[in-house]
Amino acid sequence: MRPGPGGCCCRRPVRANGCVANGEVRNGYVRSSAAVAAAAAAAGQIHHVTQNGGLYKRPFNEAFEETPMLVAVLTYVGYGVLTLFGYLRDFLRHWRIEKCHHATEREEQKDFVSLYQDFENFYTRNLYMRIRDNWNRPICSVPGAKVDIMERQSHDYNWSFKYTGNIIKGVINMGSYNYLGFARNTGSCQEAAAKVLEEYGVGVCSTRQEIGNLDKHEELEKLVARFLGVEAAMTYGMGFATNSMNIPALVGKGCLILSDELNHASLVLGARLSGATIRIFKHNNMQSLEKLLKDAIVYGQPRTRRPWKKILILVEGIYSMEGSIVRLPEVIALKKKYKAYLYLDEAHSIGALGPTGRGVVEYFGLDPEDVDVMMGTFTKSFGASGGYIGGKKELIDYLRTHSHSAVYATSLSPPVVEQIITSMKCIMGQDGTSLGKECVQQLAENTRYFRRRLKEMGFIIYGNEDSPVVPLMLYMPAKIGAFGREMLKRNIGVVVVGFPATPIIESRARFCLSAAHTKEILDTALKEIDEVGDLLQLKYSRHRLVPLLDRPFDETTYEESED
Amino acid sequence: MDTWRPPVQGICLPRSASGPARTGLSPSLTAQARGGGDQRAAAPAQAPPPRARDVTVPRHARVDVPVAFRKEAQRLTMANAAEQWVLVEMVQALYEAPAYHLILEGILILWIIRLLFSKTYKLQERSDLTLKEKEELIEEWQPEPLVPPVSKDHPALNYNIVSGPPSHNIVVNGKECINFASFNFLGLLDNPRVKAAALASLKKYGVGTCGPRGFYGTFDVHLDLEDRLAKFMKTEEAIIYSYGFATIASAIPAYSKRGDIVFVDRAACFAIQKGLQASRSDIKIFKHNDMADLERLLKEQEIEDQKNPRKARVTRRFIVVEGIYMNTGTICPLPELVKLKYKYKARIFLEESLSFGVLGEHGRGVTEHYGINIDDIDLISANMENALASVGGFCCGRSFVIDHQRLSGQGYCFSASLPPLLAAAAIEALNIMEENPGIFAVLKEKCRKIHKALQGISGLRVMGESFSPAFHLHLEESTGSREKDVKLLQEIVNQCMNRSIALTQARYLDKEEKCLPPPSIRVVVTVEQTEDELERAAATIKEVAQAVLL
């Protein structure tokens, strides 16, 4: 239900029930642009043809299968029952019939206005608490393809956990954002980071503008600019803060922000802090975006009717809960037509998309110059932490002088910088090996394979076929906990998310693929997912893919997918 | 009808001068304007006042009163008669007029009525833009550039470049200096034990965590660090963030929502300001460290609450203060704050980035310094980037308060967790602090020393407590323009740098700060600075300041 501690990585305003973008019929099983004809032949389910099909140089297949009616009804019933029991138990707690586990206010401060509204935590208390063991599982190893998880037990229905001291070894990690497999404790990256750590120490103890601008930072920024193919770049100590502390430097009062409805919390926070007017367009829906752009320019600011100073479009490369890829060619065409500016958050797509890992811009074969602000993080593909912004020299100069981060926040830790430098050079092939390139290819292959197999099994899988973020729909609240626990029993660590990170009925499990996953690991995971899928009856899809004949397939899978 | 009034009242003064109180004109100026009006009104008709436009003189003001009355009466009766006559004539004309004329006029009247009714309709139609017009508008619209150009000599454009570690001996722009600028109070930045602990962690976990705390981003080191921090601070629970700035900026909006009230010190740092902005609560700013002013605001709020007790029952009140203020180097009067807290039932959030690991016998911060029960403070936040010389921040307090952030602290939930090697470094730094409690007394002594040595520099004023390891040097007299002040101070910093003392100006975003502090040089004291170095630094600053300012 509740994603991890409150959050997965995505803010979810309520949106039309599973609505598919682009204004086509809601039940668009396959959305395709360039490969319309091919996809049509394959699925026979096409409900729209994108007008800008010519913009795409590659097939753009995204699936958001409609929630089956029965499942939707049952899900609502499930929440209804949970809510009823929640009220009942709150009643019992109130009269001290049931023991109260949660922490309470100090005696001295009982007459203060209560810190939390009573109903505020209803959800946490009565729904999240039941399945809290699925989140915050502590690990004690590298977050690589396999992790060691610390075993924990709860004797008070998840209100508190006790560590048994046992370690669950070799759990297959389908949860970490380790796309390119750079989360490692051996190899060139670790060695380089260790060297810098010994030389520099870990901290910086100052801000970039004061005296925390190390030669390493300058080196990193030049490299990032080269990697992205932009004039200049600037790096920051935290990915979240890169968004929330730089958007306010770019836009302000009298400016308009057009933001995708599924944008990450950091983008939303940044937009809010900027003081600009914010309008939301439907997820990845270009008609919706164009209408907002057109209206904004024609009608200007509300009430005063003055023209907007500037319009900034905020989109993400890969949406972390949906697995969808931004329709960048169309966004860029619109942005050019209406003279808006584009802010692209590549937190999940940098390194993970494109033939050489340069992100969604390269994936679509576009020019990085067309994106005004290229933002991304080092947390995921580079196995480090922090974020960057790339763009024209004027932009970066301005940010160097006006970014909140540069003035008030401590700069990146030197060993972390070194990890980024080494991993980035590896992706670029500057370390003299083709390791980086192989990783990028491996990830793309893993993605296609894993997604295809899941679809064949009959699960409802959201998102783009090239997106390494793979959401598998669970829908019902009880299945969230059940799936997470069953998978851990089978030694597979998965991420499950529900409301409020997703719309209330669209709870899901999310797999993040990695180049570090071998074929064996993926096959083991797939086998277990298949088993659990049958156990929990998760195979909701009515558009089952037929396995390709030229590909060897697992017989059991095939048989089961026939039912 | 014109009525006679004394000239002064009859005069309409120029608009700008009509309301002295409202327009804020000085009384003398208004009096002048009035006086001028009097004169003009009294002036003969042949010589109209030079600014007749602005002055309306009553039409008959200059005529004798009886005469004026008589004429008026005459005119009235004549007008009445004329009116009656016209009516009679009109009726007569109607009889006499030819039929075609009447029909024509009738049609005309109908036409006018039609026009009247159709007019509104047409206007409405016109307000809808045609497609072509819309296209033209879109074509015409020119946005401002994404960012305004930055002048090449912007003081913040070209950063100092530090080669090698930013520790006690620092190489800034190729020049070796003694560091009086980094917040490395305890000198733990290049401590071999800290490095060894970080290295061991690096070898076990790698660098990144590849996920937020919720999704396999919680490492055993994080749990250890939280435990250790809670124990060190003697609180029930602690929570760590991966970025110092995000700590208090996330903590405030986790509790304070729209409609709640936050009382905040004028000198609060930027992270607090951003946290308050994100919370969308009502912000009441009190004068820096002025408890009387705070009490005044609290009292005002109490009166407000009595008017609307229903609303008051759900309005949370918070006081947000810093232990040692980043922007001033002064300490908050915590005992008074605690008294006010219980008197007015407001919760205290305390930002201790500069005082954690500095003040108190064991470095627990302001609470220990004043000997206040830490449970009296609802939430303490600090970053681990100063005394601990790592990266990240933490909040601590009672579980009832802190645990809430695990689901509501945005910077906690939505961000990747702290790299384990940084957490390991922080743990080791805590170990060192616990093992050498004498270190805090040493630091205090050093602060006193340089503080004393820097007193009495002509042109520069020391601002901040004598025990604060970070304090400010302000210009005694501003030149009048911030830009020039900044340049002067920069000159001092540059010359000190040339003489091997690394200093920095405190940097602010001029336009973003709620209450922009005056420009200053920030001096940072660390335990690694020897007596000799402290003396040298003070002497250098003195000499340079005199050379630059005199």
Determine whether the interchain pair B416/A239 forms a contact, defined as Cβ–Cβ distance below 8 Å: yes
**Do B340 and B208 share a structural domain?**
yes
Give the span between the Cα atoms of B404 and B402, in whole angstroms.
Answer: 5
Per the domain annotation, does B534 fall within a domain?
yes
Enclosing domain of residue B172? 155-184+438-549
B423-436: average pLDDT? 96
**Nearest C-alpha in A relative to B187:** A205
User: DSSP states of A157-182 as a string?
Assistant: TTSS-EEEEEEEEEEEE-SS--TTS-
Residues of A in Cβ contact (< 8 Å) with B317: 113
**Nearest C-alpha in B relative to A501:** B414
**Do B537 and B461 share a structural domain?**
yes
The pLDDT of residue A43 is above 50: no
Q: Is A419 on the interface with B (CB under 8 A)?
A: yes
B1-20: average pLDDT? 44
Q: Which residues contact B31 (CB under 8 A, 6 or more apart)?
A: none
Say which CATH number the domain at B533 has.
3.90.1150.10
Give the span between the Cα atoms of B451 and B537, in whole angstroms.
Answer: 11
The pLDDT of residue B32 is above 80: no
**Nearest C-alpha in A relative to B218:** A138
The pLDDT of residue B215 is above 60: yes
Assess whether A320 carries a catalytic annotation. yes
Question: Which of B164, B202, B345 is closest, CB to CB, to A415?
Answer: B202
Chain A interface mutation, best of B193, B414, B486, B509, highest count of A Cβ atoms under 10 Å? B414
Measured in angstroms, the CA of B343 and the nearest CA of chain A are apart by: 10
Does an H or E element contain B441, and which? helix B438-453
Assess whether A160 carries a catalytic annotation. no
Per the domain annotation, does B173 fall within a domain?
yes
The candidate with the shortest Cα–Cα distance to B472, out of B267, B276, B272, B290, is B267
Determine whether the interchain pair B211/A143 forms a contact, defined as Cβ–Cβ distance below 8 Å: yes
Note the residue count of chain B. 550
Question: Domain boundary at B435, B451, B481, which?
Answer: B435
> Phi, psi at residue A203, to the nearest 5°?
-95, 175
Looking at residue A3, what is its pLDDT? 40
Residues of A in Cβ contact (< 8 Å) with B160: 211, 213
State pLDDT tens for residues B451-466. Answer: 999 998 888 999 999 9
Give the span between the Cα atoms of A536 and A459, in whole angstroms.
Answer: 12
Does an H or E element contain B261, and which? strand B261-265
Residues of A in Cβ contact (< 8 Å) with B509: 402, 404, 407-408
Q: How many alpha carbons lie under 13 Å from residue B2 in its C-beta half-sphere?
A: 19
Measured in angstroms, the CA of B294 and the nearest CA of chain A are apart by: 18
Residues of A in Cβ contact (< 8 Å) with B391: 202-204, 237, 410, 413
Chain A interface mutation, best of B130, B132, B216, highest count of A Cβ atoms under 10 Å? B216
**Do B223 and B200 share a structural domain?**
yes
**Nearest C-alpha in A relative to B181:** A211
**Do B397 and B349 share a structural domain?**
yes
**Do B474 and B352 share a structural domain?**
no
Measured in angstroms, the CA of A148 and the nearest CA of chain B are apart by: 10
Does an H or E element contain B282, and which? strand B282-286
Looking at residue A141, what is its pLDDT? 94
Q: Are A203 and B184 in contact (CB under 8 A)?
A: yes
State pLDDT tens for residues A343-384. Answer: 999 999 999 999 999 999 999 999 999 999 999 999 999 999
Looking at residue A216, what is its pLDDT? 95
Q: Are B447 and B252 in contact (CB under 8 A)?
A: no
A429-440: average pLDDT? 92
Catalytic residue among A217, A282, A348, A539: A348
**Do B378 and B448 share a structural domain?**
no
Looking at residue B186, what is its pLDDT? 95
Question: Which of B134, B215, B416 is closest, CB to CB, to A8?
Answer: B215
The candidate with the shortest Cα–Cα distance to B469, out of B440, B492, B437, B434, is B440
Residues of B in Cβ contact (< 8 Å) with A400: 150, 156-157, 159
Measured in angstroms, the CA of A84 and the nearest CA of chain B are apart by: 23
Say which CATH number the domain at B421 has.
3.40.640.10
Looking at residue B163, what is its pLDDT? 94
Residues of A in Cβ contact (< 8 Å) with B172: 211
Q: Is the dihedral of CA B363, B364, B365, B371 positive or negative?
A: negative
Assess whether A102 carries a catalytic annotation. no
Q: Is A299 exposed, middle or buried (0-12, 13-18, 19+ CB in 10 A)?
A: middle
Catalytic residue among A264, A335, A380, A404: A380
Give the span between the Cα atoms of A183 and A181, in whole angstroms.
Answer: 5
**A116 — pLDDT class (breaks 50, 70, 90):** confident
Residues of B in Cβ contact (< 8 Å) with A178: 210
Looking at residue B201, what is its pLDDT? 96
Per the domain annotation, does B473 fall within a domain?
yes
Note the residue count of chain A. 563
State pLDDT tens for residues A297-344. Answer: 999 999 888 999 999 999 999 999 999 999 999 999 999 999 999 999
B347, β-bridge pairs: B318
B373-401: average pLDDT? 95
State pLDDT tens for residues A505-543. Answer: 899 999 999 999 999 999 999 999 999 999 999 999 887
- ipTM comes to 0.87
Per the domain annotation, does B101 fall within a domain?
no
Looking at residue B26, what is its pLDDT? 44
Measured in angstroms, the CA of B175 and the nearest CA of chain A are apart by: 13
Looking at residue B354, what is its pLDDT? 95
**B282 — pLDDT class (breaks 50, 70, 90):** very high
The candidate with the shortest Cα–Cα distance to A90, out of A82, A98, A78, A80, is A98
**Do B233 and B272 share a structural domain?**
yes
Q: Is the dihedral of CA A148, A150, A151, A153 positive or negative?
A: negative
Q: Are A241 and A388 in contact (CB under 8 A)?
A: no
Residue B175: CB atoms within 10 Å = 14
Determine whether the interchain pair A177/B312 forms a contact, defined as Cβ–Cβ distance below 8 Å: no
> Phi, psi at residue B542, to the nearest 5°?
-60, -50
Name the token pair of B546: 């005199």
Q: How many alpha carbons lie under 13 Å from residue B18 in its C-beta half-sphere?
A: 10
**B101 — pLDDT class (breaks 50, 70, 90):** confident
Measured in angstroms, the CA of B53 and the nearest CA of chain A are apart by: 33
Q: Is A206 on the interface with B (CB under 8 A)?
A: yes
Name the token pair of A333: 């065409």
**A42 — pLDDT class (breaks 50, 70, 90):** very low
Output the 3-class SS for A435-485: HHHHHHHHHHHHHHHHHHHHHHHCCCECEECCCCEEEEEEECHHHHHHHHH
Question: Which of B146, B278, B505 is closest, CB to CB, to A341?
Answer: B146
Stated pTM of the model = 0.82
Looking at residue B461, what is its pLDDT? 93
Q: How many structural domains comprise chain B?
A: 2
Measured in angstroms, the CA of B116 and the nearest CA of chain A are apart by: 29
Give the span between the Cα atoms of B188 and B443, in whole angstroms.
Answer: 13
Determine whether the interchain pair B245/A241 forms a contact, defined as Cβ–Cβ distance below 8 Å: yes
B54-69: average pLDDT? 50
Q: Is A60 on the interface with B (CB under 8 A)?
A: no
**B180-209 core/surface letters (b: 16 or more CB in 10 A; e: else):** bbbbbbbbbbbbeebbebbbebbebbbbbb
What rounded mean pLDDT belongs to chain A? Answer: 86
**B77 — pLDDT class (breaks 50, 70, 90):** low
Q: Is A177 on the interface with B (CB under 8 A)?
A: yes
The pLDDT of residue B128 is above 80: no
Give the span between the Cα atoms of B490 and B475, in whole angstroms.
Answer: 12
Per the domain annotation, does B236 fall within a domain?
yes
> Phi, psi at residue B105, to the nearest 5°?
-65, -35
Question: Domain boundary at B411, B435, B459, which?
Answer: B435
Looking at residue A5, what is its pLDDT? 40
Name the token pair of A357: 């890992």
Q: Is A115 on the interface with B (CB under 8 A)?
A: yes
Give the span between the Cα atoms of B496 and B454, in whole angstroms.
Answer: 14
Chain B interface mutation, best of A107, A112, A205, A231, highest count of B Cβ atoms under 10 Å? A205
Domains, chain A: 65-173+434-542 (3.90.1150.10), 188-428 (3.40.640.10)
Q: Is A296 on the interface with B (CB under 8 A)?
A: no
Determine whether the interchain pair A140/B210 forms a contact, defined as Cβ–Cβ distance below 8 Å: no
Residues of B in Cβ contact (< 8 Å) with A136: 213-214, 218, 406
Per the domain annotation, does B12 fall within a domain?
no
**Do B419 and B283 share a structural domain?**
yes
Measured in angstroms, the CA of B216 and the nearest CA of chain A are apart by: 6
State pLDDT tens for residues A213-257. Answer: 999 999 999 999 999 999 999 999 999 999 999 999 999 999 999
DSSP state of B524: E
Q: Is the dihedral of CA B479, B483, B485, B490 positive or negative?
A: negative
Question: Which of B172, B242, B317 is closest, CB to CB, to A238?
Answer: B242
Looking at residue B17, what is its pLDDT? 40
Give the span between the Cα atoms of A67 and A324, in whole angstroms.
Answer: 17
Question: Which of B191, B212, B236 is closest, CB to CB, to A9?
Answer: B212
What rounded mean pLDDT belongs to chain B? Answer: 86
Give the span between the Cα atoms of A313 and A324, in whole angstroms.
Answer: 17
Determine whether the interchain pair B143/A9 forms a contact, defined as Cβ–Cβ distance below 8 Å: no
Q: What is the dihedral of CA B281, B287, B291, B293, to 10 degrees?
A: -80
Per the domain annotation, does B489 fall within a domain?
yes
DSSP state of B514: S
User: Which one of B99-108, B113-122, B273-282 scores highest in mean pLDDT?
Assistant: B273-282
Per the domain annotation, does B38 fall within a domain?
no
Question: Domain boundary at B409, B435, B461, which?
Answer: B435
Measured in angstroms, the CA of A448 and the nearest CA of chain B are apart by: 22
**Do B417 and B282 share a structural domain?**
yes
**Do B386 and B411 share a structural domain?**
yes
The rounded percent of chain B whose pLDDT value lies above 70 is 83
Where do we find the tokens 């753009």?
A60
**A353-385 core/surface letters (b: 16 or more CB in 10 A; e: else):** bbeebbbbbbbbebebebbbbbbbbbbbbbbbb
A29-33: average pLDDT? 44
Determine whether the interchain pair A5/B412 forms a contact, defined as Cβ–Cβ distance below 8 Å: yes
Give the span between the Cα atoms of B291 and A68, in whole angstroms.
Answer: 62
**Do B422 and B302 share a structural domain?**
yes
Give the span between the Cα atoms of A52 and A59, in whole angstroms.
Answer: 13
Looking at residue B31, what is its pLDDT? 43
**A557 — pLDDT class (breaks 50, 70, 90):** very low
**Nearest C-alpha in B relative to A372:** B146
The rounded percent of chain B whose pLDDT value lies above 90 is 71
**Do B442 and B430 share a structural domain?**
no
Determine whether the interchain pair B388/A203 forms a contact, defined as Cβ–Cβ distance below 8 Å: yes
State pLDDT tens for residues A195-218. Answer: 999 999 999 999 999 999 999 999
> Phi, psi at residue A3, to the nearest 5°?
-75, 140
